[in-house]
């Protein structure tokens, strides 16, 4: 799909990292592709993730932060359309880039509003690892709502494991 390659080149241009009108159009195209082309979702999450991590080590202007929040919102869209494990794999990689803690909190607010039990055993395994990660714990500890949601999610996972063991 040549269009995705073109969008990747445009969005990963370090001089083009803010939420300008052109980028809004490119992101709207990606949003449409996420909805209309399920087979391209993994590739789009990867593309969005590359854009998100492109300038991880620099101080971002408010416009760049808005762009990154929009990228996260698009990644969460893929999650809501069923691409949970693809998004969680991306988050695992993103955590290795020392992401901005505010962006992590934004992701998890969106994430917790998008998921609900029952969880598959594979998702439970990912969730326990993800929510136990030091970077994630550090990001979430400053937000009471996120701490509560994290505790509730982990309690749900533990109760699901106990229930499964009782049937075994």
pLDDT by residue (tens digit) across 49-61? 988 887 554 556 7
Mean pLDDT of residues grouped by 10 in the chain (168 residues)?
Answer: 79 68 85 93 91 66 83 94 91 90 94 86 87 92 92 82 52
pLDDT (0 to 100) of residue 38? 93
Q: pTM for the complete prediction?
A: 0.84
Two tokens at 64? 């760049």
pLDDT by residue (tens digit) across 29-49? 999 999 999 999 999 999 999
Give, as one character, the DSSP assignment of residue 59: P
pLDDT (0 to 100) of residue 27? 87
pLDDT (0 to 100) of residue 116? 82
pLDDT (0 to 100) of residue 8? 80
- DSSP H helices, the chain, are 2-11, 21-36, 41-53, 62-80, 84-95, 101-114, 121-131, 134-140, 144-167
Q: By the 8 A CB rule, do 98 and 66 touch?
A: no
């Amino acid at each position: 799909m040549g269009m995705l390659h073109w969008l990747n080149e445009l969005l990963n241009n370090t001089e083009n990292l803010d939420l300008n009108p052109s980028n809004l159009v490119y992101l709207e195209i990606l949003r449409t592709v996420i909805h209309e082309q399920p087979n391209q979702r993994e590739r789009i999450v990867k593309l969005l993730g590359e854009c998100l991590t492109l300038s991880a080590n620099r101080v971002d202007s408010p416009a760049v932060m808005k762009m990154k929040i929009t990228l996260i919102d698009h990644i969460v869209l893929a999650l809501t359309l069923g691409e949970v494990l693809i998004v969680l794999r991306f988050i695992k990689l993103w955590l290795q880039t020392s992401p901005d803690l505010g962006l992590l909190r934004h992701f998890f607010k969106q994430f917790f509003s998008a998921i609900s039990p029952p969880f598959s055993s594979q998702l439970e395994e990912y969730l326990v690892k993800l929510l136990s990660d030091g970077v994630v714990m550090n990001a979430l500890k400053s937000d009471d709502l996120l701490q509560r949601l994290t505790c509730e999610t982990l309690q749900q996972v533990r109760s699901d494991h106990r229930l499964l063991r009782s049937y075994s």
